[in-house]
Structure 1
């Protein structure tokens, strides 16, 4: 129990702020809403940038880790881009009807927990980062989780390009 308290007490404040924002955004995503189309792109791009930054700082952008991350991200982005949804975009107004879903909250919490666990492992067992198998597994998982929201963003981009219904 003391180890957990020690880890939690040494977690920087900004990490808890990020968690709070993710929970807030996830709960908001659980309700049907009408949003400006540009808002569909903000969170996926922000989380993607954070994931690439994390990859770069932990494993670097050379060798197998970034390839594993990219493979995981590409696979899930392609899958998510092709999942049918009831997203509706009104191009004339620039607004999108986004059906409520708990998936974004679950996904963001999974990403947060994975990155938090990786940060703890990095701090307590830094030698793991140098192990190729660990690096590939961690980067593939991180990439796969990071590709889902951009995949949904690609789905929205496809909806934007479709001809308007008469």
Structure 2
């Protein structure tokens, strides 16, 4: 199978999704301020993408779902650690987060896309890969880790925007 066959055989929605995600990743390379709701787009896309795989693939079973959950838990920890070190600032009144530019989101997006594309290609073209393939479970794990990383980052943004505790006035 030629490279051209691979490109032409890929559904259009995959390329549209890649364009949207790369666009978001490129925007993340520049520092900027955004409302929390906008920062939730990429985590939501990766969570839905992963869950759709787990729920819609007839070959995905409990093992795939458990790997997605385990990968998600691991990813949340990694994403939270990344976000804590990012140097973010928040404006609680405007409910916005200011982030310094970073190539991390774009790198995660490209790595995830490449992994999922490769796994999908293998599942679609390799006759030797059966229904009970470890590729399906691996896809669940990769999806969970990446969804978790983006969710962990989002969690830190959300936690940073919580109102601070009001000081307790002492009685005179």
- Pair 1:74–1:127, CA change in 2 (3 A): farther
Look up the match of 1:157.
158
Query: What residue is the counterpart of 2:110 in the other structure?
Result: 109
CA displacement 1:116-141 (0-9 Å, x = unmatched): 11221121126635235443333222
Please list the CA deviations of residues 82-118 of structure 1 after superposition, one character each: whole Å capped at 9, or x if unmatched.
3422111111112221111001001011111111112
TM-score by length of 1: 0.87
What's the secondary structure of 2:129's corresponding residue? helix
Please identify the structure whose Cα radius of gyration is greater: 2
Stretch deviating more after TM superposition (155-164 or 110-119): 155-164
What is the correspondence of 1:19-58 to structure 2 with a 5 Å cutoff? 19-58=18-57
Where does the alignment leave 5 or more consecutive residues of structure 1 unmatched?
none
When structure 1 is superposed on structure 2, of 26-35 and 136-145 the one drifting more is: 136-145
Q: 1:12, CA displacement in angstroms?
A: 1.8
Q: Which whole-Å deviations, capped at 9, do the CAs of 1:21-60 have from their partners, x for residues lacking one?
A: 1111111100000111221212211221111112323356
* More helix, by proportion: 1
Measure, in 2, the Cα distance between the counterparts of 1:136 and 1:120. 15
Distance 1:76 1:59, change over 3 A: farther
Matched residues, number? 165
Q: Which runs of 5+ in 2 are unaligned?
A: 168-172
Describe the shift of the 1:118–1:58 C-alpha distance in structure 2 as closer, same or farther (beyond 3 A).
farther
What is the distance in 1 between the residues matched to 2:12 and 2:166? Answer: 48
Q: Which residue of 2 aligns with 1:147?
A: 148
Instruction: Normalising by structure 2, report the TM-score.
Output: 0.84
**SS of equivalent to 1:163:** coil
Partner of 2:74: 75
Distance 2:72 2:146 in 1: 7
Alpha carbons 1:41, 1:153 under 8 Å: kept: yes
- Does structure 1 conserve the Cα–Cα contact (< 8 Å) formed by 2:54 and 2:60? yes
In structure 2, distance between residues paired with 1:100 and 1:59: 40
Partner of 2:122: 121
Deviations 1:50-76 (A, max 9, x none): 111123233566421100111011111
